[in-house]
Structure 1
């Protein structure tokens, strides 16, 4: 049995690096739209046995219900890694493989995730890099407790070190669309280029965000 867990911090605390471009309400709207896209895709992946989300955000909880995701309520915001540890400790013993994903990768597709999940695991730890190849946008642990997670700055190197500390092999996986997390103003152009058909694409255009971004570049 495999499980996929999506991490979602409170939406009002999300995407603070976009403060100069987006209002607080727009940041919340963007975070909501991205999580919607992520859960919608994951809910349709045939090879996923169990879909879960760890969050304390009320809107994220409603989305979890909408897409049939199991909820792990984050009692206190103690950071991603502590939240993951709490969830892993309470997983059903039948879960032999765990994929951990953030809620801000709205370009993922059913086919890409299904391909990832169906691959035969050659190693216990598979790390999927973000676009700059320093952070981790996806992590497969088989079994789920094989290493402690180290999401945050330079997490790829930290996950490598954690694997080596316990003497297990790791692999850098390939998943192009999974690598596009949306954190900065320039990241929004990835939505414009690749995101047609997503709620995130519709949202940034309904809010005039791309036009505002282009005008800001012209002025600067």
Structure 2
């Protein structure tokens, strides 16, 4: 069996996490984004089923142990459609400060069993991770309301609900929840 390839979309070179602007300065937001991305990368490295880690970004990330996929800015779903293919592909967001390697493994096991697994955000509106055993010509549906769209596109997919896969940081209340829940990887940068 081939290992899983993980893709982390990351908008390097653009202002990020602007909804946190009332809570964090631009430099604090950049440090937060980097700390969360490094945490996700570390957890993916610790997951034995993950063979390769790619960062999809307009600018080269330079994170150790990752490979760069150049984002040509045609939209996340189209970018992913260009790089998906082959076998065992995981798309996982970089803003999951509580992610644990065991949760990654659980998601991948479920995808291996039924062909696909979806990890919704805590509001069950967005998709924080999507694992496809055989992505083929699949075009993801990330963006507002992506969880419902992914469920429609992948009706037999396993739904994996785990705290580290659910708690993403987009708004100040997400940041507070992550910190209260023990996200030590982001406590120092902010």
TM-score of the two chains, using structure 2 as the length reference = 0.89
Task: Tell me how far 1:11 sits from its aligned partner.
Answer: 5.4
Q: 1:83 aligns with which of 66, 74, 79?
A: 79
Superposition map of 1:116-155 within 5 A? 116-119=107-110, 121-145=112-136, 147-155=138-146
2:70 aligned residue: 73
**Pairing 1:62–2:70 present:** no
Q: Give the TM-score, by structure 1 length.
A: 0.78
Distance in structure 2 (CA, Å) of the matches to 1:196 and 1:85? 32
- Check 1:120–1:133 CA distance in 2 against 1; reply closer, same or farther (3 A cut): closer
Query: Which residue of 2 is the match for residue 48 of structure 1?
Result: 50
Aligned residue pairs, count: 188
Q: Is the 8 A contact 2:97 2:183 kept in 1?
A: no
Residue pairs, 1:172-211, within 5 angstroms: 172-198=159-185, 200-204=186-190
Give the drift of 1:120.
6.4
Gaps of 5+ in 1: 205-220
| CA RMSD, Structure 1 to Structure 2 (Å) | 1.9
Alpha-carbon distance in 2 for matches of 1:51, 1:187: 26
Q: Deviations over 1:100-148 (max 9, x none)?
A: 1011112101222123323463322211110100100011112022631
Contact between 1:136 and 1:156, CA under 8 Å: does it hold in 2? yes
1:175 deviates by 2.1
Greater fraction of residues in helix = 1
- 41, 45, 49: which one aligns with 1:39: 41
- Aligned 8 A contact 1:98 1:140 in 2: yes
Query: Which of the pair has more CA radius of gyration?
Result: 1
